[in-house]
Copies of this chain bind each other. A is one copy, B any other.
Amino acid sequence: MNSPVDIDMIRYAAKRLHGHARRTPLLSSPFLDEIAGRRVYIKPECLQHTGSFKFRGGWSALSGMNDDASKNGVIAYSSGNHAQGVALAARMHGVPSVIIMPSDAPKLKIENTRALGAEVILYDRDTEDRDKIGARLAKERGLTLVKPFDDPLVIAGQGTAGLEIAEDVNALGIKNADVLVCCGGGGFTSGIALACEADAPTLRVRPVEPEGFDDVARSLISGKIERNTVTSGNICDAIITPQPGDLTFPILHRLCGPGLIITENEVQKAMAQAFLRLKLVAEPGGAAALAAALYRPDDITGNAVIVTISGGNVDPAQFAKAIATLD
């Protein structure tokens, strides 16, 4: 079976995103290199519009769908970052948006999504099925669903970050490195993997997940889609999903692995290092890959490591708690 998303789609998405999404740099710090025991290069997608890479997928979807699909508006379900990415991209396209969010999502993400012009509908993450709610609303109002990861246009949009990583890594002459990606449903990871396969094929793209929510790591081992038993109760809310997607998993299985697992404490310490050494605000889920790079060096190969910081939308109290670990 041909994949519904390929490198040509990513390159075309990059053209549509040009001048709208931010072209984020690769950052570094000698202090982080020392902790990790190898050169660490940071892809700071917290600096992307709406504070996460999700704006790339949102813009790709809105700019890639035809006028008929967008005329009544779009709908998305999201723990928050996809919500904001789609809401802003929709507003910039003059398209109404409805966002379905879990009721335990950070207050900040819910407020931001509303402030970006979206209609927000809350649901209970443990008892309700967001897919069913989304499908029903889409049908009733004639909205086009923009899935958070299992959508070819969205994967293509996230993959544009991978094109940038490959370009910068090639300019630096890096050949032997893992690319660590904060991984929920696998849209960001699979997009980056497709881009690196084409433009930097010696890199190894590896998903990073929180302990107890390692559906992708287990799926890569078993060779089939595995589920998490619970989907709440971890600070890394942005990357907690029930299972990898039907579209993302075959890409992950073909190109990625093995998965890396980190603890909540490691994530907090990584957020503190991003604050201290990079002057960046990383949300817990966004610091997962940095946690692996800094505190799981024996699980990584290569003389350099590329680390995505996937987002920075974190409540002040939670951030204060993380940086207090420095004292």
- Give min CB distance, A171 to chain B, whole Å: 11
- Smallest CB–CB gap between A65 and chain B, Å? 23
Q: Identify which of A8-16, A96-104, A300-308, A318-326 touches chain B.
A: A318-326
Check B312–A316 contact: CB distance below 8 A. no
Asked if B27 contacts A47 (CB within 8 A), the reply is yes
A279 to B282, CA, bound (A): 7
Number of identical protomers: 2
> In the complex, which residues of chain B have a beta carbon less than 8 angstroms from the beta carbon of A1?
none
Measured between alpha carbons, how far is A165 from B63 in the docked complex, in Å? 30
Contact yes or no, B319 A323, CB < 8 A: yes
Q: Find chain B residues with CB under 8 A from A30 CB.
A: 88
Q: Nearest Cβ distance between residue A117 and chain B, in whole angstroms?
A: 10
Neighbour of A317 across the interface among B275, B317, B327, CB < 8 A:
B327
Please name all residues of chain B whose beta carbon is closer than 8 Å to the beta carbon of A275 when the two chains form the complex.
Answer: 281, 316, 319
The secondary-structure label for the interface of chain A is: helix
Specify which chain B residues have a CB less than 8 angstroms from the CB of A316 in the assembled complex: 272, 275-276, 320, 323-324, 326-327
Inter-chain contacts of A317 with B (CB < 8 A): 324, 327
Instruction: Select which of B47, B88, B276 is within 8 A of A279 by beta carbon.
Output: B47
Residues of B within 8 A of A323 (CB): 316, 319-320
Q: Is A51 an interface residue (CB 8 A)?
A: yes
A258-295 to B contact mask, C-beta < 8 Å, 1/0: 00000000000000100110111110000000000000
Which chain B positions have C-beta within 8 A of A324? 316-317, 320
Q: CA A272 – CA B315 in complex, angstroms?
A: 11
A221 within 8 A of B: no
Q: Map CB proximity to B onto A40-72 as digits: 1 under 8 Å, 0 otherwise.
A: 000010110001000000000000000000000
Known contacts A275-B316, A279-B281, A280-B281; 16 further A-B pairs (Cβ under 8 A): A22-B25, A44-B279, A47-B278, A47-B280, A51-B279, A108-B276, A272-B316, A276-B316, A279-B282, A279-B312, A280-B280, A316-B324, A316-B327, A319-B320, A320-B323, A320-B324
